[in-house]
Structure 1
Amino acid sequence: MDELIDLIAIPSTAGRPDDLRRALDLVLALVGPGFDTRHFTSGGRPSALIATPGEPRIILNAHLDVVPGTPEQFKPQVKGRLLYGRGAHDMKAAAVVMASVFRDVAPTLPYPIALQLVTDEEVGGFDGTGHQVAQGVRAGFVVIGEQSALEIVTESKGIIRARLSATGRTAHAAYPWLGTNALTTITAAVTRLLSRYPVPATEEWTTTVNVARVDTPNTAANVVPDTASALIDIRFPPSDPDLAGRSPAEIETHLHTITGVDVTVESLGAPHWADPAAPEVALLRDAARSVGYQGGLLRKHGSADGRFYSAQGVNAVIFGPAGHGQHGPDEYIDLDSLPPYREALTTFLRSLPVPTP
Structure 2
Amino acid sequence: MDLLPSTERLLGIRSTADRPDDLRRALEFVLDLVGPGFTVERFEAGGKPSALVYPGEHRPHFRVLLNAHLDVVPGTDEQFRPRRDGDRLIGRGAQDMKLSALVMASVFRDTATRLPYPIGLQLVTDEEVGGRHGTRHQLDQGVTASFVVIGEHSALRVVAESKGLAAVRLHATGRAAHSAYQWLGDNAVVKLVRAVDAVLAAYPVATGEEWRTTVNVARVETGNQALNQVPADATAWLDVRFPPEDTDFTGRTPDEVAAHFAALCPPGVTVEVDHVEPPHRADLDGPDLRALQRAAREQGYSGELLRKHGAADSRFYFQRGIDAVIFGVGGDGQHGPDEYADLTTVEPYRRALVAFLEGIA
Q: Shared fold (TM-score greater than 0.5)?
A: yes
Aligned match of 1:33: 36
1:117 partnered with 2:117: no
1:347 partnered with 2:350: no
- CA offset at residue 233 of structure 1? 0.8
Aligned match of 2:344: 336
Aligned match of 2:49: 46
Alignment of 1:226-245 (within 5 A): 226-245=232-251
- In structure 2, which of residues 291, 307, 319 is the aligned counterpart of residue 311 of structure 1? 319
Of the structure 1 ranges 60-69 and 165-174, higher mean CA displacement relative to structure 2 is found in: 165-174
- CA offset at residue 226 of structure 1? 2.0
Alignment of 1:270-349 (within 5 A): 270-349=278-357
Could you tell me which runs of 5 or more consecutive residues in structure 2 were left unpaired when the two chains were aligned: none
- CA offset at residue 170 of structure 1? 2.0
- Aligned equivalents of 1:218 and 1:22: distance in 2? 45
Q: Residue deviations 1:148-192, cap 9 Å, x none?
A: 110111111111111222222222333333222222322222111
- Aligned equivalents of 2:335 and 2:192: distance in 1? 29
- CA offset at residue 31 of structure 1? 1.1
- Aligned equivalents of 2:214 and 2:335: distance in 1? 19
- CA offset at residue 327 of structure 1? 1.5
- Aligned equivalents of 1:4 and 1:222: distance in 2? 58
Q: What secondary structure does 2:109 align onto?
A: helix
Q: What secondary structure does 1:264 align onto?
A: strand
Of the structure 1 ranges 114-123 and 185-194, higher mean CA displacement relative to structure 2 is found in: 185-194
Could you tell me which runs of 5 or more consecutive residues in structure 1 were left unpaired when the two chains were aligned: none
- Aligned equivalents of 1:176 and 1:72: distance in 2? 53
- CA offset at residue 220 of structure 1? 2.9
Letter in 2 for 1:182: A
Letter in 2 for 1:199: V
Letter in 1 for 2:49: P
Alignment of 1:172-183 (within 5 A): 172-183=178-189
Q: What secondary structure does 1:187 align onto?
A: helix
Q: Residue deviations 1:108-136, cap 9 Å, x none?
A: 21111111111111121111111111111
- Aligned equivalents of 1:42 and 1:55: distance in 2? 22
Letter in 1 for 2:157: E
Q: What secondary structure does 2:24 align onto?
A: helix
Identity between Structure 1 and Structure 2 (%): 58
Q: Residue deviations 1:199-242, cap 9 Å, x none?
A: 23321111011111112233332333322211111110111121
- Aligned equivalents of 1:3 and 1:180: distance in 2? 62
Q: What secondary structure does 2:276 align onto?
A: strand
Aligned match of 1:248: 254
Residues 36, 324 of structure 1: CA spacing in aligned structure 2 closer, same or farther, 3 A cutoff?
same
Q: What secondary structure does 1:258 align onto?
A: coil
Aligned match of 1:73: 79
Aligned match of 1:7: 10
Letter in 2 for 1:230: A
State the TM-score, normalizing by the size of structure 1.
0.95
Aligned match of 2:163: 157
Q: What secondary structure does 2:206 align onto?
A: coil
Q: What secondary structure does 1:107 align onto?
A: coil
- Aligned equivalents of 2:190 and 2:18: distance in 1? 33
- Aligned equivalents of 1:14 and 1:218: distance in 2? 33
Aligned match of 2:173: 167
Once superposed, what is the RMSD of the aligned Cα atoms? 1.4
Letter in 2 for 1:40: F
Letter in 2 for 1:33: P
Count of aligned pairs between the two proteins: 353
